[in-house]
Structure 1
Amino acid sequence: MNLKALMEKREELQCVMDALVSAADTEERAMTEEETEKFDKAEKEIRAIDETISRADRVRKLEKPEQHAEENTEAAEERAFANYVLGRASELRAGEQNMTMSNNGAIIPTSIANRIIKAVKDRCPILAGATIYNVKGTLKVPVWGKANTTHDIAVGYQTEFTAITADSGKFTSIDLGGYLAGALVLIGRSVENNSAFNVTNFIINQMAEEIAVWIEGQLLTGTGSDAAQGALNTTTTMAAAAATAVTADELISLQAMVKQAYQRNACWTMHPDTFTALRKLKDGNNRYLLQDDITGEFPYRLLGKPVYVSDNMPTMAAGSKAILYGDYSGISVNFRENISVEVLRENYATQHALGVISWFEFDAKVTDNQKLAVLTMKAS
């Protein structure tokens, strides 16, 4: 039994009943025979759905009380949230259905906020592949390296009863703090009159899309020393021979710059224009380098690895970092404040809209330069 589908159907029927009553009230008249018939039919279906859900809940509680109690809580949070957004509930008591009231609205329940976070990762492969932390304050990520150009841990054959010469490398650290970021989506209040509109899914998808595109840009290119620094800041780089073109040999060399140990999860990332240019490259046997891949997540493979296309990557231009290759886990991300979302009902009343605003605090830096390599176009 699909309880979620039943609840969505119930919401649609409730919207139909509300619209019928509202129409009669606005025109200061009694409901027509046709409207009454529709109203009674919707009410009958709602009662049938309620009875079905009630029976299902009783059975499910007998099977696994704790699990189904959690599922019921999530369903209750989603219903309460949808009713609040659609104006069916003018206010909510603080803490009811895990919804916290603020001066201007309600903070989205944790269960719905978590769905937004998951959707962000689904839309943003680099975030899904990055090394993610949730640490308050400043996170120090240890990085191992040589003590200097000659000192490192040395392994070799030894002779019994002969002391081993001690040598060492050193640990340095990369600091991950937190920079405040936010996104705002406006939703027209006309959705209240649309019985087929799933407001919860709309908000989740819209917020996730806005956040994912922005975070992807930060994790790829970054903003600078005063904010997150993206994967293109890796120190493993090579220069192209031309300012606006790439050769097959350069791609082979770039791929080889990432050590074999990190090749398993490596992929290519580039701008759509760069992808189009590479799509025309051929090898010595007149075969295209980019091969179709209908079996994997990505539709194309280059030198055996998937290709990810992003508008956030620079195009092939003089001095630009046009192609990224490697394992995304080489960049570390610290979400010092998890994504929180709040509904603003009053701020945009004059626009016949409500706002859904998201806040989060994060930082990102490359913490393993061996996993990521960048091709930089020749300077003009």
Structure 2
Amino acid sequence: MLSGQEEKRLKEERLDQIEIMENIVDTMKAEKRGIKANEQRSLNSAKERITEIDSILEGAEIRGGIEKMIMTKDVHNPEVEQRKADDQAFLTLVKEARATGGMTAGSNGVVIPLSIAQRIVETAKNVSPIVAKATIWNVSGDLSLPSYDYTQNVFQYVTEGTAVTDSNGAFAGKTLANFIIGSLTKISNSLINRSDIDVVPVIIRQIGLSLALFLEGELINETGAKLKGLKSGVTVTATSTNATTAVIDAKTVTDLIGLQMKVPQIHQANCAWLMSPQVWTAIRSLTGASGNLLIHGDDTGIGADGGLVLFGKPVMLSDAMPTTLALNARGIYYGDFSGLDIKLTTGIQVKVLLERYAAEYQTGITAFQELDSVVGDPSKFAVLIGK
């Protein structure tokens, strides 16, 4: 690695070589002539020296970067170390070792560290695009969401010295309370005892998948009549032309365009479609009289990131959505899904049940989550419904 003095000397020499080249060019311009042989040699020599200096400086920079990487390689990362410690403690616990790894023992199990619980929620987000796009509030207790009708707050021209007319907008709000959901997972001790399998990610993924499946179903269909989601929260509708027959044909394309335009332009930037895989397949397979696809082009099909796209907007698929556009079916949603608010307490309460399933040669793992949901901003959504 170059010393500061050596680096300074090389940079000054580089400037000198550039000055030599500039002087030659200036002389040629002033005398309005071509380059002489000796000037050409000086010019070539200056270029070669600049290239050499650049190579030396670049090499020193690369070596310096590598040295920094080596120096920082052994620097401790508390977050990574804590995650490893939590994983090891969790694994020790589910393998029924004597030590609890510093975890807090309860009356019928042990409370799992927050890092494990957070990764369960992250898994749910990764699996469910609806949950990933929703606005998540990590708070305890009731949460009031303020909302304001921006269309009532009007700008207007005013004359200097004249009072501006007030607008009639008012704040409204929706409150998110607490509902408790829970699951019980039983893991085979044969799996836990295998040394060639890291069982912690398996457990996290299984609980995360269950959470994603539950949340997605409730946010779309509100089956349990507690969490509020798209079914009751989206009130702006477009009508499906073939609702009585549930046929998806060329008229459906017109319906989709009408649905997309139901959402105000101010919300269009982050909008996406939501439908079932069956409906998406039928729409993408539509062909005209000539046999060509009705919906095609760069803005429809598979996007640059590998995701599905329709009219330039991402397509999210969910098995919880209706499989046809039948009468009264809320078949396709379109909107900015950040308008869907989900309140989750700061962490899932996960416990390992040490003895309860010992006779079955299994280990029980329970997970409880306090949550609530609501469509906080209905103006961000529209739904295609058969009427």
- 1:351-374: CA deviation from partner (whole Å, max 9, x where unpaired): 221111110011111111121111
Q: How does 1:245-264 map to 2 (within 5 A)?
A: 245-246=247-248, 247-264=252-269
1:287 and 2:293 matched: yes
> What are structure 2's unaligned runs of at least 5 residues?
1-69
SS of alignment partner, residue 146 of structure 2: strand
Moved more, 159-168 or 202-211: 159-168
Q: How far apart in 2 are the matches of 1:263 and 1:145?
A: 17
Q: Is the 8 A contact 2:228 2:374 kept in 1?
A: yes
- Secondary structure in 1 matching 2:180: strand
In 2, the alpha carbon distance for the partners of 1:294 and 1:166 equals 46
**Counterpart code for 1:324:** Y
Structure-2 separation of matches of 1:123 and 1:341: 20
- Say yes or no: does 1:328 pair with 2:337: yes
SS in 2 for 1:118: helix
> Per the alignment, do residues 84 and 357 of structure 1 end up closer, same or farther by CA in structure 2, a change over 3 Å counting?
same
The answer as to whether partners of 1:326 and 1:371 remain within 8 angstroms in 2 is yes
Cα distance in 1 between the residues matched to 2:303 and 2:260: 23
Task: Indicate conservation of the 8 Å contact 2:301/2:310, yes or no.
Answer: no
Which runs of 5 or more residues in structure 1 are unaligned?
Answer: 1-58
Question: How do 1:208-287 residues align onto structure 2 when only pairs under 5 Å count?
Answer: 208-223=208-223, 226-232=225-231, 233-243=233-243, 244-246=246-248, 247-282=252-287, 286-287=292-293
Contact between 2:186 and 2:365, CA under 8 Å: does it hold in 1? yes
Secondary structure class of the residue paired with 2:333: strand
CA contact (8 A) 2:147 2:376 kept: yes
1:354 to 336, 347, 363: 363
CA distance in 2, matches of 1:355, 1:264: 45
Contact 2:131 2:216 in 1 (8 A): yes
- TM-superposed CA distance for 1:64, in Å, is 3.5
Tell me the number of residue pairs that the alignment of Structure 1 and Structure 2 aligns.
307
**For residues 26-65 of structure 1, what are the structure 2 equivalents within 5 Å?**
64-65=75-76
**Matching of residue 144 in structure 1 with residue 142 in structure 2:** no
TM-aligned CA deviation for residue 134 of structure 1: 2.2
Deviation at 1:287, TM superposition (A): 2.8
Structure 1 pair 253/211, CA: closer, same or farther in 2 (3 Å)?
A: same
1:107 Cα deviation (Å)?
A: 1.8
Identify which of 332, 338, 342 aligns with 2:351: 342
- Alignment partner, residue 71 of structure 1: 80
Conserved? CA contact 1:348–1:355, under 8 Å:
yes
1:312 aligned residue (296, 307, 320):
320
In 2: Cα distance, 1:191 partner to 1:160 partner? 78
Residues 223, 306 of structure 1: alpha-carbon distance in 2 compared, 3 angstrom cutoff: same
1:364 maps to 2:373: yes
Task: Work out whether residues 285 and 293 of structure 2, in 8 Å CA contact, stay in contact via their aligned partners in 1.
Answer: no
Classify the secondary structure of the residue corresponding to 1:264: helix
On the 8 A contact 1:223/1:229 being kept in 2, the answer is no
Structure 1 window deviating more from structure 2 (237-246 vs 250-259): it is: 237-246
Separation in structure 2 between the aligned mates of residue 60 and residue 350 of structure 1, nearest angstrom = 52
The amino acid that maps onto 1:162 is T
Query: Aligned residue for 2:172?
Result: 172
Residues 271 and 309, structure 1, Cα contact 8 Å, conserved in 2: yes
- Taking a change above 3 Å as real, the CA distance of residues 145 and 196 of structure 1, as seen in their structure-2 partners, is same
Q: In structure 2, what residue type is equivalent to 1:228?
A: L
CA distance in 2 between partners of 1:113 and 1:160 (Å): 59
Distance 1:76 1:167, change over 3 A: closer
- State how far apart, in whole Å, the 2-side matches of 1:197 and 1:245 are: 48
Q: What secondary structure sits across from 1:206 in the alignment?
A: helix
Partner Cα distance (2:94, 2:72) in 1: 30
Mapped partners of 1:168, 1:346: distance in 2 = 63
Letter in 2 for 1:201: P
CA–CA distance in 2 between the matches of 1:202 and 1:120? 14
User: Which residue identity does 2:169 align to in structure 1?
Assistant: G
* SS at 1:169 equivalent: coil
Match of 1:122 in 2: 126
Shift of 1:193: 4.2
CA deviation map 1:324-374 (0-9, x unaligned): 111110111111353221111222222221111110011111111121111
> What is the DSSP-based 3-state SS (H/G/I as helix, E as strand, rest coil) of the residue aligned with 2:217?
helix
Normalised TM-score (structure 2): 0.73
Partner Cα separation in structure 2 for residue 85 and residue 313 of structure 1: 37
Deviation track 1:143-191 (CA, whole Å, cap 9, x = no partner) reads 1138xxxx93332222233333323211111111111001221111112
Runs of 4+ in 1 over 6 A off after TM superposition: 59-62
The SS at the match of 1:263 is: helix
Q: Report the secondary structure of 1:356's partner residue.
A: strand
Q: Deviations over 1:24-72 (max 9, x none)?
A: xxxxxxxxxxxxxxxxxxxxxxxxxxxxxxxxxxx9899545x3x4433
Please state if 1:302 is matched with 2:301.
no
| 8 A contact 2:337–2:380 mirrored in 1 | yes
